[in-house]
């Protein structure tokens, strides 16, 4: 299963933001320990996560965190057609969310994990917050 991680999931892990860290760290650990899940994010999400990690930990540590993350999480790209789709889709009011959605779609993701699920009201891809993802896909027997 291909999963797309929104920036707020990465920020939660980088900055150890509780109570989300309990779930988001478990999700991120799937990148290394699971054949069932393949994790994706985008350059935009990486830039946002870097910004917040840099504010909390400084540039050197933030760069290390991004470098480590990129060893385990795939980077979904936005093609020109995806960017244009985000612009032209009348249902999308937030361009950044549109970019994330189309990056996830192009990476053939079946799920977007974000703490701002309402931002993806237009999504045809399943959208879950970290806690709901864990209970639906990880904690079930």
Residue 32 has pLDDT above 90, yes or no: no
Distance CA 139, CA 75 (A): 26
Paired strand residues for 111: 3, 126
Distance CA 64, CA 30 (A): 20
Task: Supply the pTM of this predicted model.
Answer: 0.94
Structure-block tokens of residue 2: 């291909």
Task: Summarize pLDDT for 64-115 with one digit per residue, the tens.
Answer: 999 999 999 999 998 999 999 999 999 999 999 999 999 999 999 999 999 9
- Structural domain spans, the chain: 2-138
Residue 34 has pLDDT above 90, yes or no: no
- For the domain made up of 2-138, the CATH class stated in words is alpha beta
Residue 140 has pLDDT above 90, yes or no: no
């Amino acid at each position: 299963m291909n999963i797309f991680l929104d920036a707020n999931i990465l920020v939660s892990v980088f900055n150890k933001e509780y109570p989300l860290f309990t779930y988001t760290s478990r999700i991120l650990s799937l990148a290394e320990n699971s054949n069932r899940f393949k994790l994706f994010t985008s350059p935009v999400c990486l830039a946002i996560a870097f910004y917040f990690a840099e504010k909390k930990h400084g540039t050197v540590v933030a760069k290390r965190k991004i470098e480590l993350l990129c060893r385990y999480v795939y980077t979904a790209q936005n093609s020109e057609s995806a960017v244009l789709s985000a612009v032209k889709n009348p249902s999308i009011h937030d361009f950044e969310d549109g970019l994330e959605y189309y990056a996830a779609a192009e990476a053939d993701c079946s799920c977007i994990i974000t703490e701002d699920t309402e931002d993806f009201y237009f999504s045809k891809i399943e959208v879950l917050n970290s806690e709901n993802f864990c209970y639906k896909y990880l904690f079930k027997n």
